Chains A and B, each alone.
Chain A
């Protein structure tokens, strides 16, 4: 059967009916969606899931993981909108790990991009079935009926039937072959400022997170990991720990040799977390630290700088950069660096696992529930689908909870003790046994002609890359990790990209915005430097760089990126910046990442090297917007995270181990430094893209440019003001 002849019936099916209500699951085979350009991966199956009770109460499941980015409001509201459901009657529930919800691994700012249309179609399908049910009752044509606010209404006589009354009839209605989606002008919720579905629970302390799972018989665990990656346990003296009142077990956790697996360690089980944490302190563990004990970030960073300031391994070349550099009289070069970062969400890693003879149940804040099923299935020698994973709301994640080592560990402890185990990592373990944003160095050399057109751009980057997780023998970032450089929207006549050596000595993991953090920093800061070199206004200069891009397939992107830049320039009063008081300045930066465009204008005041960020204007184009409030919140959050990493946060390793331990020596941004953030959203009909990450990249370069404008001092190293640890 070819794709085009797949009957609607094959991919639209009703999957189960509870208590007379209506359960709709819409399964669209990946290849059909790929054909329609809805998803990129043709092997994926997508679902949406709606449950309607006889009294009209509607439950909409969210299959993507929620960690504060607002997806469990955004996607279900799109379902409700198309269904003509009344949002007040909707309860949102988080789906357990289950392929019926489609891809659940949540990262890459991809949820909205991938699920927006399928979720809307799920809602529209439900609406048509409810309309068909009403038409049947009224013995009229569905054409005479429409749905509105949880009712179906008969146009001919204004009779009304509630969704609840129709549920049991609707479930037997044929599934429509085609659905027509609403027009933008008809939206009730999409593109509006809908509040988070759970904020009422948050403010009274009733919202529960992974760390809040409780159940009868629960025992509590705390643990310690080898401080150096790749190390192992030599010996454990458990005596003192076991002597403590309330301590029941000390358990060695093996290393899981799978992607994102636990690195192993020693856990204490006790009657409560406090006792377990105290007992961990009493363990005497001797470690065999292994070969990464040589890792010192201070020296390592210097080495990365050396590696990018000399020829490195070619990744890509267009034109002849060396010739351009040689020929030009107008040249500039600069080196940029950045440190490791720890995600440090406010909720540390935590999970509850209960392994029994014939079942295994997990409650965890996670970004990747299906991976938990896979890893625990393998560990327990059971079918992955036999591992029940309840996805809890995460108290922040930022990429960390994509890697669920803290679940593997709780499973081992529960398997060995036979009781449900809550494992909570201490903040110190969370900070020291992380997956870190890569330490990095970049060196750029560029040449210009008399008009300030960039003729050559040599760009070397060295950073231990995420692929090193899967292949620790990698000595440098693979070409693919540098493609963002050659694909950058700046128009340069020739470009050469090189990868400098950078072997990983710790686990590198996605951190909100990932490589866009350092690429965004280098590109927008260097462009600003070039503008001064060319004697041009930075905005004019950057626009010229974009205008010089004549790649056909980037034309549309160029238009969009210039538009957000123009918007922040206008909103920040860039054109009148001459009138700013002494010591103040505005810096601009713009970056395209995760298919969204974000520009920032940062307005600072610099006094004796003290940097005070006063205002941040932020313009975004992420296509059709789902939730204005959610988008705004993501930008506010991106500014805060961008400011932490631009100014203060850095993870330092000494002799292979992380030196930082808690928020006193990993100083994330606090309230007194909060600038006034104004978010400007482009009204667009383009297909929607995500916003969880793209806002982070432009902040640091805009800040560097602003500080330079205000004081003449150029910061090229992130963070600008590292704390000595």
Chain B
């Protein structure tokens, strides 16, 4: 029997070389292009997705290590694109080119899942692996704080 992984709730058979990183399985095999290639070495965060709710760098995570795991990509973060972070991102007009933003949002979502009320320092520490070459950092920090506030009010 073929092995499979679960992506945004749907089961997908792993029909590729087992050492293929999840990033390329997503992008080239399943054509989920929301997850981006930036460096291929775990250095930039553009490829961030969740494995069982936790942020990982998909460019250095072979699919073989993810058998039967629950993967969430930016396309599956929320049903209607209305996760508190996504709303805060729009409200603060965070994106410039936008290329890094899927990774930023996925990384931030993983942070808020374990730390619902992060300090600025905690936000910065946890977002340090995500590069934005356009320079949207100030708005990213603001949007994460805002989303944390929203979530605490909604809870």
Q: How far is the CB of B142 from chain A (nearest CB, A)?
A: 11
With a cutoff of 8 Å between Cβ atoms, the chain A residues found around residue B17 in the complex are 245-246, 274-275
Chain A at the B interface: SS class: loop
Interface membership of B145, Cβ < 8 A: no
- Most chain-A Cβ atoms within 10 A of its Cβ — which of B46, B86, B99? B99
Residue-by-residue, is B61-104 near A (CB-CB < 8 Å gives 1, otherwise 0)?
00000000000011101000100001001100111111111100
Flag if B140 contacts A671 (CB, 8 Å).
yes
With a cutoff of 8 Å between Cβ atoms, the chain A residues found around residue B136 in the complex are 633, 636-637
Q: How far is the CB of B68 from chain A (nearest CB, A)?
A: 22
Interface membership of A486, Cβ < 8 A: no
Flag if A424 contacts B43 (CB, 8 Å).
no
Residue-by-residue, is A453-487 near B (CB-CB < 8 Å gives 1, otherwise 0)?
00000000000000000000000000000000000
Q: Which residue of A lies closest to B29 (CB)?
A: A272
Interface membership of A214, Cβ < 8 A: yes
Flag if B137 contacts A202 (CB, 8 Å).
no
Interface membership of B138, Cβ < 8 A: yes
Q: Which residue of B lies closest to A218 (CB)?
A: B28
Flag if B135 contacts A273 (CB, 8 Å).
no
Q: Which residue of B lies closest to A207 (CB)?
A: B98
Assembled-state Cα–Cα distance A629/B139 (Å):
12
Assembled-state Cα–Cα distance A63/B123 (Å):
39
Flag if B135 contacts A203 (CB, 8 Å).
no
Interface membership of A606, Cβ < 8 A: no
- Report, as a range, how many residues of chain B touch the other chain: 35 or more
Q: B138 is contacted by which of A70, A272, A676 (Cβ under 8 Å)?
A: A676
Interface membership of A674, Cβ < 8 A: yes
Q: How far is the CB of A613 from chain B (nearest CB, A)?
A: 12
Interface membership of A677, Cβ < 8 A: yes
Flag if A348 contacts B128 (CB, 8 Å).
no
Q: Which residue of A lies closest to B125 (CB)?
A: A672
Q: B36 is contacted by which of A67, A199, A211, A676 (Cβ under 8 Å)?
A: A211
Interface membership of B141, Cβ < 8 A: yes
Q: Which residue of B lies closest to A193 (CB)?
A: B93
Q: How far is the CB of A79 from chain B (nearest CB, A)?
A: 21
Flag if B140 contacts A203 (CB, 8 Å).
no
Assembled-state Cα–Cα distance A113/B33 (Å):
35
Flag if B139 contacts A672 (CB, 8 Å).
no
Interface membership of B113, Cβ < 8 A: no
Q: Which residue of A lies closest to B33 (CB)?
A: A212
With a cutoff of 8 Å between Cβ atoms, the chain B residues found around residue A633 in the complex are 93, 96, 136, 139
Q: How far is the CB of B50 from chain A (nearest CB, A)?
A: 13
Assembled-state Cα–Cα distance A477/B45 (Å):
39
Flag if A662 contacts B39 (CB, 8 Å).
yes
Q: Which of A89-97, A257-265, A388-396, A405-413 contacts B (4 or more CB under 8 A)?
A: A388-396
Interface membership of A724, Cβ < 8 A: no
Interface membership of A670, Cβ < 8 A: yes
Known: A272-B20, A663-B39, A663-B43. A346 touches B97 (CB 8 A): yes
Q: How far is the CB of A366 from chain B (nearest CB, A)?
A: 14
Assembled-state Cα–Cα distance A633/B101 (Å):
15
Flag if A395 contacts B43 (CB, 8 Å).
no
Flag if A205 contacts B74 (CB, 8 Å).
yes
Known: A211-B36, A214-B31, A346-B44. A670 touches B128 (CB 8 A): yes
With a cutoff of 8 Å between Cβ atoms, the chain A residues found around residue B125 in the complex are 672
Residue-by-residue, is A631-665 near B (CB-CB < 8 Å gives 1, otherwise 0)?
00100111111000000000000000000001110
Assembled-state Cα–Cα distance A272/B23 (Å):
11
Assembled-state Cα–Cα distance A641/B81 (Å):
30
Flag if B36 contacts A395 (CB, 8 Å).
yes
Flag if B27 contacts A345 (CB, 8 Å).
no
With a cutoff of 8 Å between Cβ atoms, the chain B residues found around residue A670 in the complex are 128-131, 137
Known: A629-B93, A636-B139, A672-B124. A346 touches B24 (CB 8 A): no
Q: Which residue of B lies closest to A431 (CB)?
A: B39
With a cutoff of 8 Å between Cβ atoms, the chain A residues found around residue B74 in the complex are 204-205
Known: A199-B93, A629-B93, A636-B139. A208 touches B33 (CB 8 A): yes
Known: A200-B90, A664-B41. A344 touches B133 (CB 8 A): yes
Q: Count how many chain A residues have C-beta atoms less than 8 Å from C-beta atoms of the other chain.
A: 62
Q: Which residue of A lies closest to B88 (CB)?
A: A203
With a cutoff of 8 Å between Cβ atoms, the chain B residues found around residue A393 in the complex are 97-98
Q: How far is the CB of B107 from chain A (nearest CB, A)?
A: 10
Interface membership of A151, Cβ < 8 A: no
Q: B28 is contacted by which of A68, A272, A668 (Cβ under 8 Å)?
A: A272
Q: A346 is contacted by which of B20, B29, B77, B100 (Cβ under 8 Å)?
A: B100
Interface membership of A198, Cβ < 8 A: yes
With a cutoff of 8 Å between Cβ atoms, the chain B residues found around residue A207 in the complex are 98
Q: How far is the CB of B84 from chain A (nearest CB, A)?
A: 11
Residue-by-residue, is A559-577 near B (CB-CB < 8 Å gives 1, otherwise 0)?
0000000000000000000
Assembled-state Cα–Cα distance A668/B39 (Å):
13
Interface membership of A368, Cβ < 8 A: no
Residue-by-residue, is B4-43 near A (CB-CB < 8 Å gives 1, otherwise 0)?
0000000000001100110010011101111111111101
Q: Which residue of A lies closest to B32 (CB)?
A: A205
Q: How far is the CB of B111 from chain A (nearest CB, A)?
A: 12
Flag if A671 contacts B27 (CB, 8 Å).
no
Q: Which residue of A lies closest to B78 (CB)?
A: A204
Known: A207-B98, A211-B37, A346-B97. A668 touches B124 (CB 8 A): no
Q: How far is the CB of A550 from chain B (nearest CB, A)?
A: 38
Assembled-state Cα–Cα distance A271/B29 (Å):
9
Flag if A668 contacts B133 (CB, 8 Å).
yes
Assembled-state Cα–Cα distance A427/B46 (Å):
12
Q: Which residue of B lies closest to A677 (CB)?
A: B138
Known: A203-B81, A663-B39, A672-B125. A345 touches B133 (CB 8 A): yes
Flag if B130 contacts A671 (CB, 8 Å).
yes
Q: A204 is contacted by which of B16, B41, B86, B134 (Cβ under 8 Å)?
A: B86
Flag if A426 contacts B40 (CB, 8 Å).
yes
Q: B98 is contacted by which of A193, A199, A427 (Cβ under 8 Å)?
A: A199
Assembled-state Cα–Cα distance A272/B31 (Å):
11
Q: B95 is contacted by which of A196, A208, A277, A641 (Cβ under 8 Å)?
A: A196
Q: How far is the CB of A66 from chain B (nearest CB, A)?
A: 8
Interface membership of B132, Cβ < 8 A: yes
Assembled-state Cα–Cα distance A277/B20 (Å):
11
Known: A70-B96, A199-B90, A274-B20. A205 touches B75 (CB 8 A): yes
Flag if A273 contacts B28 (CB, 8 Å).
yes
With a cutoff of 8 Å between Cβ atoms, the chain B residues found around residue A629 in the complex are 93
Flag if B99 contacts A209 (CB, 8 Å).
yes
With a cutoff of 8 Å between Cβ atoms, the chain B residues found around residue A677 in the complex are 138
Interface membership of B56, Cβ < 8 A: no
Known: A70-B96, A272-B16. A204 touches B128 (CB 8 A): no
Flag if B134 contacts A396 (CB, 8 Å).
yes
Interface membership of B105, Cβ < 8 A: yes
With a cutoff of 8 Å between Cβ atoms, the chain B residues found around residue A68 in the complex are 95-99, 134
Assembled-state Cα–Cα distance A70/B93 (Å):
12
Interface membership of A347, Cβ < 8 A: yes
A-B contact pairs, 7 of them (CB 8 A): A200-B81, A214-B33, A271-B28, A272-B24, A346-B46, A346-B131, A346-B134
Given A273-B24, A427-B40, A633-B93; 4 other pairs, CB 8 A cutoff: A272-B24, A273-B28, A633-B139, A640-B137
Residues of A within 8 A of B (CB): 67-70, 193, 195-196, 198-200, 202-209, 211-212, 214, 220, 245-246, 271-275, 277, 344-348, 393-396, 398, 424, 426-427, 629, 633, 636-641, 662-664, 668-672, 674, 676-677
